């Protein structure tokens, strides 16, 4: 499913124009992005949790040359589905 498909589903479900539904979905995505960018976790009841985690520096190596290097610290995003979503998927 693409963003365009989501716009269409919202348009059909609510009866808005395509432009209005696109603006609404984009606004929701924008809020989600800014929340996650700031390092906050995002919980959507009945859907799941988006969690921003910090990974520390670690040692790695280049498999072609065998050279050791440091992999920089970074933030990663994980998603854990809710029990409700898991149950619906596995029906």
Same domain (yes/no): 29, 68: no
Asked whether residue 4 falls in the same domain as residue 29, the answer is: yes
Residue 64 and residue 72: Cα distance in Å, rounded? Answer: 19
In the numeric block, which tokens belong to residue 47?
A: 């859907």
Could you tell me the CA-to-CA distances from 35 to 5, 30, 66 in Å, in that order?
Answer: 24, 9, 39
Q: Same structural domain for residues 2 and 43?
A: no
Give the domain range for residue 69.
39-91
Residues 52 and 90 in one domain: yes
Question: 43 with 74, same domain?
Answer: yes
> Do 49 and 16 lie in a common domain?
no
Read off the pLDDT of residues 71-88 as tens digits, 9 standing for 90 and up. Answer: 999 999 999 999 999 999
Same domain, 91 and 57: yes
Distance (Å, rounded) from C-alpha 70 to C-alpha 52? 22
DSSP letter string, 1-38: --HHHHHHHHHHHH---HHHHHHHHHHHHHHHHHHHHT
Do 43 and 33 lie in one domain? The reply is no
pLDDT tens digits, 7-49:
999 999 988 898 999 999 999 999 999 999 999 999 999 999 9
State whether 64 and 45 are in the same domain: yes
Pair (44, 33) in one structural domain: no
Tell me the pTM: 0.76
């Amino acid at each position: 499913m693409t963003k365009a498909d989501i716009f269409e589903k919202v348009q059909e479900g609510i009866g808005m124009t395509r432009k209005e539904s696109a603006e609404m979905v984009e606004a929701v995505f924008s809020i989600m992005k800014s929340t996650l960018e700031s390092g906050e976790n995002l919980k959507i009841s009945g859907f799941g949790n988006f969690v921003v985690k910090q990974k520390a520096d670690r040692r790695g190596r280049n498999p072609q040359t065998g050279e050791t290097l440091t992999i920089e610290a970074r933030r990663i995003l994980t998603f854990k589905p809710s029990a409700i979503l898991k149950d619906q998927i596995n029906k």
